[in-house]
Structure 1
Amino acid sequence: MGTHFLTGAGSGIGAAVAELLCGRGEQLWLLARDESAAARLRERFPGSRTVAADLAEPAALAGALAAAALPERIDSLLHVAGVADYGPVADSAAAQWAETLAVNLLAPAELTRLLLPAVRTARGHVVFLNSGAGLHAPPGLAAYAASKFALKALAESLRAEEHVHRVRVTTVFPGEVDTPMQRRLHERFGMAYDAAAYLSPRSVAAAVATVLDHPHDGTLSDLMIRPNG
């Protein structure tokens, strides 16, 4: 049984990953936005432990983690949480850029910094849930795509730096996934929504499990998943 620290467990892909790992009897540490959300996660995933902190405020993460009795070994750090909002460059104010970059890039970087000693101790794994937008920037999603391009760079640098510590680093690039975020974006773009045409969160969670379960003599460094619909 491993110990896993996960963001984004409240819905979508993060919830599917937490459900899969919880079902396998793994120990989960789940980051929640506030104490109310943390209580809901503990009820949904029995045996899990939580830390309450808002990813939109990366500078506050150190204090939140310091107040928690975190384990000395963490087998995987799973960065799944993210935000996306429609906005052409001409209409995207500084606040939208700041929030998107804080949640999608700065918070994962800070969490990684803070938890890396425990991941090193376990010779563990850091997984970044990226996006197809982290490889090809679509119109109307400049801030989101920029944050995901930068997240790819963060993962690549971390992989090179942590090889000496036997820490594995993987980026997962799913295409369209049937999540609340996807539905909101379709509404903003005025596009019809067909859930059957997209990946299910459980499908992406299965890919994350494959990454974690890969023999330790190798690393699945970049994994791309595309829907068949």
Structure 2
Amino acid sequence: MPQTLVLTGAGSGIGRLLADRLAARGDHLVLVARDEDRAAEIASRHPGAATVVADLARPETLTAAIEAAHLPEGVDAVVHAAGVVQLGHVADLAVDAWTSQLAVNLVAPAELTRLLLPRLRAARGQVLFVNSGAGLTAHPEWAAYAASKHGLKALADALRGEEAAAGVRVTTVYPGRTATPMQAEVHAQEGRAYDPAAWIDPASVVTAILTALDLPRDAVISDLSVRPGPR
């Protein structure tokens, strides 16, 4: 049976491919886009999908955006796949490098989840956070991004316990380095040449996400790490 899923990050990388796979199997998509132009671009790729125009860098605007979207009473899943990254030493990172990453990577997922919880409870749905290996281990120059992703893990862990009685499942997927536009940006920030073939194919991460979403309701994949295989 087709499901209704709210998805952030559908314009690029893992989120884009996930939206393609979900649409191809007939699910109803509600795609969050940062502005009207991006919404039109995404809608042209997925005819029939609904869009919500909301800038995740400004989580305080999400309430009005969700209210204007007239979503169905039940939402089967919300998948948080959007993210931003800015590397740098703690000694050099400006305040806005911290606040922008915390806003998009942590505060916006928390707020969007809060706003959708009544609909998720009605459907006994699922919240899936696309986290990162940086959500488990922080390396030099990754402090701000890793802090936002460690926070996202904490959000998921707390939410899982809070919403279990309502039948809402909560999953975190931790991809290792994946061949996406964000990975190309990371390499540019690191000053290194980028070879997509050296990293995980985004299709493999999407398959892992779909496995978690499609698991029968008698079980939940709470945490799933996806790492590069042997070469």
By how many angstroms is 1:227 displaced? Answer: 1.1
Aligned residue in 1 for 2:137: 136
Taking the TM superposition and a 5 Å limit, the aligned residue runs for 1:39-50 are 39-50=40-51
Deviation of 1:192 after TM superposition, in Å, equals 2.5
**What is residue 111 of structure 2 aligned with on the other side?**
110
Is the aligned partner of 1:67 residue 2:68? yes
Q: Where do residues 171-186 of structure 1 align in structure 2 (5 Å cutoff)?
A: 171-186=172-187
For structure 1, the 5+ residue unaligned runs are none
Identity of aligned residues (%): 56
In the aligned structure 2, how far is the partner of 1:151 from the partner of 1:188?
23
Q: After TM superposition, give the deviation of residue 188 of structure 1 in Å.
A: 1.3
1:90 equivalent in structure 2: 91
- Which TM-score applies when normalising by structure 2? 0.98
Q: What is the Cα deviation at residue 131 of structure 1?
A: 0.2
> For residues 71 and 162 of structure 1, what CA distance do their matches in structure 2 show?
20
- SS of residue in 2 equivalent to 1:182: helix
Partner of 1:140, secondary structure, is coil
1:71-130 C-alpha deviation (Å, 9 max, x unpaired): 111000000000001111011011110100000000000000000000000000000000
**Aligned with 1:5: secondary structure?**
strand
Aligned length: 229
Q: Which residue of 1 aligns with 2:125?
A: 124
Specify the code of the residue in structure 2 equivalent to 1:9: A
- CA separation in 1, counterparts of 2:211 and 2:198? 23
> Which 4+ residue blocks in structure 1 deviate beyond 4 angstroms?
none
**Partners in 2 of 1:128 and 1:80 — Cα distance?**
7
Give the alignment's TM-score, normalised by structure 1: 0.99
Say what the alpha-carbon RMSD is for the aligned residues. 0.7
Deviation at 1:47, TM superposition (A): 1.2
> Which residue matches 1:161?
162
Q: Which runs of 5+ in 2 are unaligned?
A: none
